Copies of this chain bind each other. A is one copy, B any other.
Amino acid sequence: MTNIRAEIVAVGTELLLGQIADTNAQWISQRLAAIGINVHHHAVVGDNLQRVEEQFKLSNERSDVIIVTGGLGPTEDDLTREAFQKLSGMEIVEHEPSMKKIKAYFAKQKIDMTPNNRKQARVFADADILDNQTGMAPGMIVPYGDKTWIFLPGVPHEMKRMMANDILPYLQRLLGEDTIIKSVMLRFIGIGESRLEHELQDLIQQQTNPTIAPLAQNEGIATRLTAKAATDEEALKLIERTKQDVLDKVGEHYYGEDEQTLQASVLELLKDQGKSVAAAESLTGGMFIDRLIAIPGASHVCRGGIVCYDTKVKENVLRVPSDLISQYGTVSEPCASVMAANVSSLMDADIGISFTGVAGPGSSEGHPAGTVFITIHEKSGKQQTEKYNFYGDRQTIRKQTVLKGYELLFNLLK
């Protein structure tokens, strides 16, 4: 099938009440776009059997592939299976391996399993069952007439894993055309969206295969290259050539591909160079080092950190001299400098990085919210301190500070 009309349906009253946002639809749409599948509709419907059934009927008429998220949980409100059964008449059975897993979970947690949890192991008899590696309810691929129905949990990390492991490869086989579509996301830091688009303007206009699409991201910015070709090899070759053209223009801001995070790039550079890092965090409160430890394998290069939110902790644990603090304040280059040096020696790390500043709301020590000092200290004694004026609420300022810390560290190591 070369032209698949896809539709994404989310089931859940909490979405219609605005209690949560349907972030799944956007994420899935990006992935489908990358393999060349056209999404024609997003729909959200509440936990109401009749309305879910009506929505499913409509979706079945107008789309070839219908991806449903949510409504597979244990409660009475979870009605996705029932609604599709009313539409299709398909038999529902208990899936032994899933039931075993659910029982094992409750046994391990030493909690009694309430009877409604059984429901999560119920699947359509004809379905391909998708193992849920991080949750309970399995996913399903259900062929129905000439349509394909895909049922996934609403919990984003469970859904994403099944999409990546099972659904996208399945859909690529379903596309079954001679053309192969490959795409790669190139990630950049330290350059804005309009600047990137400006630098790449000519390339974007001249280039049709691969296409080049800039995308603003949570952390930095990315550009997606999408190539069509007869073979995998040829598609990759096309991408490689255009990637080189892009990097010739903005390569100094490039840090990684696809799902690579800036933190992971920094971690790899640290590993490659056999260097360890420790952090002294005041306003960032542990967020910097947390993001590194989030990555498997961080233990090889990450010593740890001191969260010195309190001035007394800066003095007593990090040994920042109290007369330095009374002379310059804690929001100052000298304080940042000593924090970075002392955390690196205290934790025997090759690199010490420090963060001190005003997260807000409101100013501190005469500095407005957003005033931030970051120091990077190397064992050799070499130091770099930068001052920033970030803008936004408390969390925005804290997150910008952490991101900037990774950018500085990346630029030092690359």
- Enumerate chain A interface residues (CB-CB to B < 8 A): 10, 13-23, 25-33, 38-46, 48, 51, 54-55, 58, 62, 73-77, 105, 108-109, 111, 114, 116-117, 133-135, 157, 192-195, 197-198, 213-216, 224, 278-279, 281, 283-290, 292-294, 296, 298-299, 302-310, 312-313, 316-317, 346-348, 359-361, 389, 391-396, 398
Contacts and interface: CB of A to CB of B under 8 A. Distances in A.
Q: Chain A binding site: helix, strand, loop or mixed by DSSP?
A: mixed
Contact of A304 (B224, B288, B309): B309
Q: Which 9 A-B pairs have the closest CB atoms?
A: A286-B286, A285-B293, A18-B30, A18-B29, A42-B44, A286-B290, A305-B307, A304-B307, A304-B313
Contact of A286 (B40, B114, B305): B305
A39 B19 contact: no
A385 to B, nearest CB: 17
Contact of A42 (B28, B43, B283, B312): B43
Contacts of A22: 21-22, 25-26, 42
A83 to B, nearest CB: 15
A389 B308 contact: no
Contact of A108 (B76, B215, B313, B391): B391
Given A289-B307, A293-B285, A391-B105, A29 B42 contact: no
A205 to B, nearest CB: 10
A62 B308 CA distance: 56
A15 to B, nearest CB: 7
Contacts of A30: 17-19
Chain B CB within 10 Å — which of A16, A33, A398 has the most?
Answer: A16
A13 B213 contact: yes
A66 to B, nearest CB: 14
Contacts of A134: 392-393, 396
Chain B CB within 10 Å — which of A134, A192, A307, A316 has the most?
Answer: A307
Given A18-B33, A30-B17, A294-B394, A198 B302 contact: no
A294 B285 contact: yes
17 contacts: A15-B42, A16-B40, A18-B33, A21-B25, A22-B25, A40-B46, A40-B51, A74-B194, A75-B193, A109-B391, A114-B194, A157-B393, A286-B305, A289-B309, A293-B307, A304-B308, A307-B307
